[in-house]
Structures are given as structure tokens and as C-alpha cells.
Structure 1
């Protein structure tokens, strides 16, 4: 247990250049507080003390802004960076050395029973505001871009961006645009641009037809 708690602190020192020492991390990092609270709540949940576990998880949510259901399974060295608004559902499974940024939701898609939340394998990164919804596996070393909405499984060593999320890099090979939090695909904007180009083409054709018609009308019989 003490090794696990130490790992929860050490991963912050490894990942966050603003973290200066263990004492600062233990006192000031809400992500660490939320994870520590969850580890206790998960133990209570496994002992079938469901009400107590849920109550303490809500207390932790009030103080940290991070909601982790006590039924979720979390591995070693989870790093929740600036975690306000993070939601982790009951049947989530999170591997080792996973990084989650603020505003991330690991949720379900409806009222289905059983496994209804995602599984994140080792070394996954989920960027700011991303939503991973439903029972699917996010493979090892996968990266989810900021603001993306992921509804399907993600292969290992892949980068996913957009709404809905699509793989743009896999095993180091570009399939589309690389992960760029400031320049993510916008399918609505892309559709409007496509329609605009189509309108320009139609206008050109109409002008050409109009000129041809005027020439015919101006030609003497």
C-alpha cells in the first residue's frame, strides 16, 4: 500500500515540471488526493460497504472536483493533471502509467448493464476535454486528442482526434493529421467548406450556360 501511495506521488514529479518536491505534491495536488481517496473507497466497495464508499467518493468529489466511482479499477502511477471536471465511471479499468487531463469523461452511453465504461490499457494519454464513452478498449500507448469524442475501440500505439474520434496515426505511420491540440479536425466546418466549393462549381457552370444561351440568342437566323 505504501509503495502504491509513493508511486502516486512520484508520477507527478516525473510528469509535471511545476512539481518541486513530494511534500508539495501531497498537500497541493487534488489529483493525488482524488486517487488516494479512491483507493480507500475501492477497498470499501470490494468489502460490499457500498453506501459508505459512495458517500466518501462524493465527499472527495466536493473537495477535488474529480469524480471517481468507487467501483472503478485503477492501476499504478495514474496521473490526473489539473483534474477539475474529470469523471471516471463505475466499470472503468485503468492500467499503469496512464495520464488524464482536466475535463475528461470516461463514461457510458446509456442504461446498459454490466461492463459499460472504457478500459484504458497501460501508457494511455487522454487530453483535455476528451470523452471516451462506452465499453471499449483503448490500446497501450494510445493518445486521445483534446476535445475528441471516442465511441469505438482504439488500437495500440494510435493517435485519435475529432468528433467522432478517428485514428490519424498508428504505429508511427500517419493516417491523417497528427495530434495537435490547437488544430483538431472539425467535421462540421469541413462539410461547410465542401458545400461552398460545390456552390462555386455550380455557379461557374450556370455562368457558362448563360453565356452560351446569350450567344445563341444573339446569332441571326
Structure 2
């Protein structure tokens, strides 16, 4: 327990550049307070002292704004930065050296008494406001972008952004256009307008091409019409000459 708490303090010092030292973490970091109280409530839960465990968990939630169910299994080095609004459900599992930012939800999508919350493997980072929903794994060293909604398994060493979450980096290779930046998120409305504008430009080019082609064909049509008129006139003249000569011979 003591080593775990030391790891939690060290995690805050290493991952928050605003940290001024261990005392700063112990006395002024609500994320650390919530995790520390959870360590105790989880022990009580394991000893089947469910009421005391839930009561202590509620006290932690009241003072920190962070809700962690006593049954949650959390590894060493858990760091919850800022923390307000974080919710971690009963069957969630958290590996070592995981970082969660404010507004994160590790939630369930079932009412059955079974595994219904996600499992975060070691070194996972979940950005502010992200929602990870369901009984699947987020692989080690993966990152979840701010405000993403993740509803399916994430492979190790991946980066996921968007609603619903999509993988943009996998095994260190870019597989999408968006890198993880907590302040940069895909905008589906802007993307839709961009696609529409590209579509309009393509249609405009096609119309111009058709107009040019039709102009060339019209010139050719006019030329052929003139030639046809000449041919018809000449044919009429030729056809009318023998008729006049026959009438003259008859007289």
C-alpha cells in the first residue's frame, strides 16, 4: 500500500509540470486525494465491508468531485489531473501508470451484474471529457483524445479520436489525418461542408467541359448543315434542268 501511494505521488510529480513537489501533491491535488481514498475503500470492499467502502467513496466524491467505485481495480501510478467530473464504474480495471483528465467516464452499457466497464492497460492516457463505454480493452500505451467516445476495443500503441472514436495512429504509424491534440478535434460539420464544396467544384468543372465540348460540336453541326443545304440546293437545280429541257423539246 505504501509503495503504491509513493508511486501515485511520483506519477503526479512526473506528469504535471505545474507540480512543485511531493507536499504539493499530498495537500493540494484532489486527484491524488481521490485515488488515495479509493485505495482504502477498495481494501474495505475486498474485506466485504461494503457499506464502509461505499461511504468512504462517497466522502471522496463529495470533497473532490471524482467518483471511483470501491470495486475498481487500479494499478500503481494512477494520476487523475484536475479530476472534476471523473466517473469510474464498478467493473472497470486500470493498469499501471495510467493518466486520466477531467470529465473522463469509464462507463458501462449493460444493466447485468457482469463485466460491463472498460479495462485500461498500462500507460494509457485518456483526454479531458472522453467517454470509454463498454467491457473491452484499451491496449497499453494507447491514447484517447479529448471528448472522444470510444465504444470498441483499442489495440496497443494506438491513438483514438472523434465521435465515435476512430484510430488515427496504430502501432506508431499514422492511419488517419488527425494526431492527438487535446484542443484539436475532428469537426464533422466542417468536414461535410468541405466535401460539399469539393463536390460543387467537380460539378462546375464538368459543366464547363461539357459546355466547351457542346460549343465545338455546335460549330461542327452548323458547318455540316451549311454543307447539306448546299448539296440540297445543287441537287434541286440539277433535278430541275432536265425537266425544263423536256418541255422545250415538246413544244
TM-score under structure 2 length normalisation: 0.79
Q: Is the 8 A contact 2:5 2:76 kept in 1?
A: no
Partner of 1:94: 94
Query: In structure 1, how many angstroms separate the alpha carbons of the residues matched to 2:76 and 2:207?
Result: 65
Partner of 2:140: 140
Q: Where has structure 1 moved over 3 Å in runs of 4 or more?
A: 195-212
Partner of 1:2: 2
Query: In structure 2, how many angstroms separate the alpha carbons of the residues matched to 1:2 and 1:155?
Result: 32
C-alpha displacement at 1:13, in angstroms? 1.2
Query: In structure 2, how many angstroms separate the alpha carbons of the residues matched to 1:58 and 1:169?
Result: 38
Query: In structure 1, how many angstroms separate the alpha carbons of the residues matched to 2:141 and 2:201?
Result: 43
Q: Is the 8 A contact 1:148 1:161 kept in 2?
A: yes
Q: Give the aligned length.
A: 218
C-alpha displacement at 1:180, in angstroms? 1.9
C-alpha displacement at 1:8, in angstroms? 1.4
C-alpha displacement at 1:94, in angstroms? 0.2
Point out where structure 1 has 5 or more consecutive residues left out of the alignment. Answer: none
Q: For residues 51-83 of structure 1, what are the alpha-carbon distances to aligned partners after superposition, in whole Å with 9 as ceiling and x for unaligned? A: 221122111101001010111100001011111
The answer as to 2:209 corresponding to 1:189 is no
Point out where structure 2 has 5 or more consecutive residues left out of the alignment. Answer: 226-251
Shifted more, 16-25 versus 131-140: the winner is 16-25
Q: Is the 8 A contact 2:100 2:126 kept in 1?
A: yes
Query: In structure 1, how many angstroms separate the alpha carbons of the residues matched to 2:196 and 2:59?
Result: 50
Q: For residues 68-116 of structure 1, what are the alpha-carbon distances to aligned partners after superposition, in whole Å with 9 as ceiling and x for unaligned? A: 0111100001011111111111000000011111111111124243000
C-alpha displacement at 1:185, in angstroms? 1.5
Partner of 1:180: 181
* Aligned partner of residue 184 in structure 2, secondary structure: coil
Cα RMSD, aligned residues only: 2.2
Q: Which has the higher helix share?
A: 2
C-alpha displacement at 1:187, in angstroms? 2.6
